[in-house]
Structure 1
């Protein structure tokens, strides 16, 4: 049986500036979509995947999220300053267990199979230092601009291409700990991993909606209702 990651980091610390007035008095993960906060959509996926340890980072208006999460079995990693995605994960690692962990953004809504179990099925730690979940642009709702990555025939990733990163991955904690800075993006980690041919990806067969901006709310609700 493959030794799948048992911890997940949920990114919830950002200011949500693209949301404008919607985040003036609440953090972005608390914005309601289809009747419940964004972070609750994420937590359902996590719970369904039976992840043992859930960690969320906090910074902007932290008391609101702290109160919402207090009875949801989520460990909290408070950041006195924004550490970006890589630095936030590095800061939270003492709250997590295992050599490999999931990370997941909290500003997206999904329709289709469980994103985390798809990664579990594809994870090969002997060959990979990170496995990113990607979606073709045709199934990426609310996302503008070009894709982020291209996949080769072996599943390795290169920059560019028409596949969009969904904000979900498995990554080895050593790759994060090896970065000496305290504030850094996960892009820095991925670049180092890619140098050794150990940055991999797999595609999501369902639909994904970016809810990082106000227009994404209606798009996500329509996607969830679409039959």
Structure 2
């Protein structure tokens, strides 16, 4: 069994309600930022990873058509399974080793986040989450606090940027059906095995129509490479 996070899961099943009216006719991952869909940006960050799974629920057929012939396994969910249930459903394709996961509605300006997570993986933690100071990414409050060793607990200093490397064995202990990966993270916090990695570049949340312009301005900045 592999012990490096090479398989990739991209979460693309959500309804995109905060992005309306743009998502009335298409799923949020197919919205374009700088002439490139959010989903394609996410998959480009995972180039070279294998296998790759994209889950889909809202307007899933559009995502399937968009990815046809590209060697990406599209897992259609019905009903929707949330992040934890979706990842567990993908395990037959992803395999038993650690995996990378990515939310496509965040745009990165700087180093490849998945490469950073893979480089930081030493097998000691059950999961490594990519984080940034909450204020630096425009949030009044974040998701976690992090100590000097990188151990996480619930708090508000750092925001999760939607990218992580994790072991999936704990998914078997979670409830059937839909559930959030927050349940898995809380169990890891209790065992002291949830770690954080601070992202050294810039990041923009494209969860609303206003986020599109913000991300495009970030990518156009001369000191930030598009990614």
Shorter-chain TM-score bucket reads over 0.9
Q: 2:209 aligned with 1:211, yes or no? A: no
Alpha-carbon displacement from aligned partner over 1:60-107 (angstroms, at most 9, x marks no partner): 001110000112211011100111111111111111124211110011
Task: After TM superposition, list the pairs within 5 Å mapping 1:129-148 onto structure 2.
Answer: 129-140=126-137, 143-148=138-143
- Residue 99 of structure 1 corresponds to 97
Task: After TM superposition, list the pairs within 5 Å mapping 1:61-100 onto structure 2.
Answer: 61-100=59-98
Task: After TM superposition, list the pairs within 5 Å mapping 1:1-227 onto structure 2.
Answer: 3-47=3-47, 50-125=48-123, 127-140=124-137, 143-227=138-222
Q: Which secondary structure state, in structure 2, belongs to the residue aligned with residue 51 of structure 1?
A: coil
Question: Please, what TM-score do these two structures have when normalized by structure 1?
Answer: 0.94
Following superposition, the deviation at residue 176 of structure 1 comes to 1.6
User: Aligned partners of 1:187, 1:3: CA distance in 2, in Å?
Assistant: 23
Q: Which secondary structure state, in structure 1, belongs to the residue aligned with residue 130 of structure 2?
A: strand
User: Aligned partners of 1:136, 1:73: CA distance in 2, in Å?
Assistant: 36
User: Aligned partners of 1:60, 1:166: CA distance in 2, in Å?
Assistant: 22
**Unmatched runs of 5 consecutive residues or more in structure 2:** 223-227
User: Aligned partners of 1:98, 1:183: CA distance in 2, in Å?
Assistant: 20
Alpha-carbon displacement from aligned partner over 1:162-221 (angstroms, at most 9, x marks no partner): 211000011111012221322110100000111110011110000011001111000000
Q: Which runs of 4+ in 1 moved over 3 A?
A: none
Q: Which secondary structure state, in structure 2, belongs to the residue aligned with residue 224 of structure 1?
A: helix
Q: Number of residues paired by the alignment?
A: 221
Q: Say whether the 8 Å CA contact 1:139–1:206 is kept in structure 2.
A: no
Cα pair distance change 1:128/1:201, threshold 3 Å: same
User: Aligned partners of 2:63, 2:97: CA distance in 1, in Å?
Assistant: 27
User: Aligned partners of 1:137, 1:107: CA distance in 2, in Å?
Assistant: 17
Q: Say whether the 8 Å CA contact 1:129–1:175 is kept in structure 2.
A: no
**Unmatched runs of 5 consecutive residues or more in structure 1:** none
